[in-house]
Amino acid sequence: MAETLIAAVDILKQNKLKITKQRHALLEFLLTNQGHYTDIVAVDAYMRTEFPGMSHNTVYRNLKEFEEVGIVEQNTEQERTRVKYQCDFHHQHHHHFICQNCGKVTELQMCPMDFFAEQLPGYDITGHSFELYGICADCKAAGITESLVKN
Amino acid sequence: MAETLIAAVDILKQNKLKITKQRHALLEFLLTNQGHYTDIVAVDAYMRTEFPGMSHNTVYRNLKEFEEVGIVEQNTEQERTRVKYQCDFHHQHHHHFICQNCGKVTELQMCPMDFFAEQLPGYDITGHSFELYGICADCKAAGITESLVKN
DNA sequence: TTCGGTGCAAAGGGTTTGCAACCTG
DNA sequence: CAGGTTGCAAACCCTTTGCACCGAA
C-alpha cells in the first residue's frame, strides 16, 4: 500500500504536479478504497468533512488531474460519477464487473469485441462500452441478495 | 409513420395518459428523428422554440413518462442524456451501435452475454451494458472519417 | 522567489419541484 | 366536471470558474 502511494506520488512528480497536503490526503483516501468505485460526490463530502476548509474546486480539479495522468479511473453510469484508484497504472484494455452493493470492481479477462469482428460491414467501430453489474461473491456470501445501491 | 404515431397514442391511452397538444407535438418531433438518438437538451430547446411557452417541466416529465410506458428509450453516455423514439415497441433484449456523427442507432443482433456464461463463479450478474460507437456506413460513404460529436 | 495550487463564493448547466390555472376525457 | 397536465419561476444538485492569497519546489 505504501509503495502504491509512492508510485502515485512519482507520477505526480513526473507530470510536474506539486505534492500538496490536499493531494496527498486525496491519494490516501483513494488508496483506502483501492479496487472500489466511490461516488465522486461522496469523495468530495468526505474530504470536506475530514479536512474542513477544503474546497470543491480542489477535490474535483485534482480528481480530474489524477485521471489525466492515470492515477484514477472515472466512470459515469446511471447518472453518477464514480472514481477509483488505479493501483497498477497499467492501461491495457479491460472491462469491469461492478458490485452494486459495495462498489468493488473486478476486472474481466474477456472483451466482447473478441467475438464481434466484422459484424457491421461498412461501419467504422471506434469504441465500445461493456460493463457487468451485480453482487460480488463476498457480498453474496454475506447474505446480500439484492441491490442496495444508495439513492 | 402515421400508424406509428397512432400506436404511440394508443399506448398513452392504454396507460390512461391524456393526449395533449404538447404530448402530440413531442411525439411528432421524436417521430421525425426515428432511429436516431437526440440530446434531451436539444429536444427541450427545440420544443420550446417551436412552441413558445412550453416549459422544461413538460418536456422532461413527458419524456420520462414516455420512457416508462415504452415509447421512448433514454440513454446516458458521456455525461449526455439522449432520447429516441422506440418505433417498434418491442422490448426484446438488444444492444446498439450509435453513430458519433448523425446519432443513428443500429440494433445489434449479438449480445456479449451469449459468450460470457459462468465466467464469475459465486457472483450474481444482474445486468450489463454494451454499446458500440463509431461512424455508420452512410456517414462514412458521405466522407465523414472522424467523430464530429458536438460539444 | 515563483508560479502552481488553494479556498471561497458565486455562477453555471441540466433537471426537478410547487402550485395555481388550464383542458382533456 | 374532476383530476390529470401545464407554465412559470424558483429550487436543486453537481460541477466549474474567477480571483486573491498561500505555499511547494
Q: Is position B74 within any domain?
A: yes
Residues A81 and A47 in one domain: yes
Residues A111 and A44 in one domain: no
Residues B17 and B55 in one domain: yes
pLDDT tens digits, one per residue of A52-81: 999 999 999 999 999 999 999 998 877 889
Q: Using the beta-carbon criterion (under 8 Å), do A134 and B126 form an inter-chain contact?
A: yes
Residues B67 and B126 in one domain: no
| A111 pLDDT more than 80 | yes
Q: Using the beta-carbon criterion (under 8 Å), do B121 and A132 form an inter-chain contact?
A: no
Residues A15 and A75 in one domain: yes
The pairing of strands A105-108 and A124-135 is unpaired
Give me the CATH number covering residue B121.
Answer: 3.30.1490.190
Q: To the nearest 10°, report the CA torsion of A15, A18, A23, A24.
A: 100
pLDDT tens digits, one per residue of B25-45: 999 999 998 888 999 999 999
Q: Is position B148 within any domain?
A: no
First to last CA, chain B: 31
Q: Is position B55 within any domain?
A: yes
Distance of C1' in D25 from CA in A18, Å: 8
Could you tell me if A138 and A102 are in contact, meaning their C-beta atoms sit under 8 angstroms apart? yes
Q: Where are the beta strands (DSSP E) in chain A?
A: 38-39, 72-77, 80-85, 95-99, 105-108, 124-135
Give the nucleotide at minimum CA-to-C1' distance from B60: C15
Facing B123 at nearest CB: one of A77, A116, A137: A137
Residues B54 and B115 in one domain: no
Q: Which residues of B touch A40 (CB under 8 A)?
A: none
Q: Is position A77 within any domain?
A: yes
Q: How far is B73 from chain A (nearest CA, A)?
A: 14
Could you tell me if A63 and A74 are in contact, meaning their C-beta atoms sit under 8 angstroms apart? yes
Q: Is position A131 within any domain?
A: yes
Residues B12 and B49 in one domain: yes
| B151 pLDDT more than 50 | no
Q: Is position A79 within any domain?
A: yes
Residues A6 and A66 in one domain: yes
Q: What is the pLDDT of residue A91?
A: 60
In strand C, the nucleotides that come within 7 Å of a protein beta carbon are: 4-10, 13-19, 23-25
Measured distance CA(A84)–CA(A37) in Å, rounded:
5
Give the nucleotide at minimum CA-to-C1' distance from A15: C4
Facing B97 at nearest CB: one of A115, A123, A130: A123
| Ramachandran area for residue B106 (φ above 0: left; ψ -120 to 50: alpha; else beta) | beta
Could you tell me if A116 and A95 are in contact, meaning their C-beta atoms sit under 8 angstroms apart? no
Residues B55 and B101 in one domain: no
Closest CA-bearing residue to C1' of C23? B20
Give me the CATH number covering residue B54.
Answer: 1.10.10.10
Q: Is position A40 within any domain?
A: yes
Q: Which three cell numbers stand for residue A143?
A: 447474505
Could you tell me if B22 and B79 are in contact, meaning their C-beta atoms sit under 8 angstroms apart? no
Q: What is the pLDDT of residue B148?
A: 40
Q: How far is A105 from chain B (nearest CA, A)?
A: 12
Beta-carbon contacts of residue A147 (< 8 Å; ≥ 6 apart): A100, A101, A135, B126
Residues B137 and B100 in one domain: yes
**Residue B107 structural domain:** 95-141
Residues B79 and B125 in one domain: no
Residues A132 and A112 in one domain: yes
Measured distance CA(B140)–CA(B149) in Å, rounded:
14
Q: What is the pLDDT of residue B91?
A: 60
Residues whose CB is below 7 A of strand D = A 13, 18-21, 40-41, 44, 55-57, 60-61, 64, 81; B 16-18, 20, 22-23, 51, 53-58, 61-62
> Sorting pLDDT into bands at 50, 70 and 90, what band is A100?
confident
Q: Is position A38 within any domain?
A: yes
Q: What is the pLDDT of residue A18?
A: 97
pLDDT tens digits, one per residue of B85-137: 986 655 678 888 888 778 788 888 788 888 776 678 889 898 888 889 888 89
Q: What is the pLDDT of residue B149?
A: 39
The number of beta carbons lying within 10 Å of the beta carbon of residue A73 is: 16
Last residue in a domain, options B62, B85, B108? B85
Last residue in a domain, options A65, A85, A105? A85
**Structural domain tally of chain B?**
2
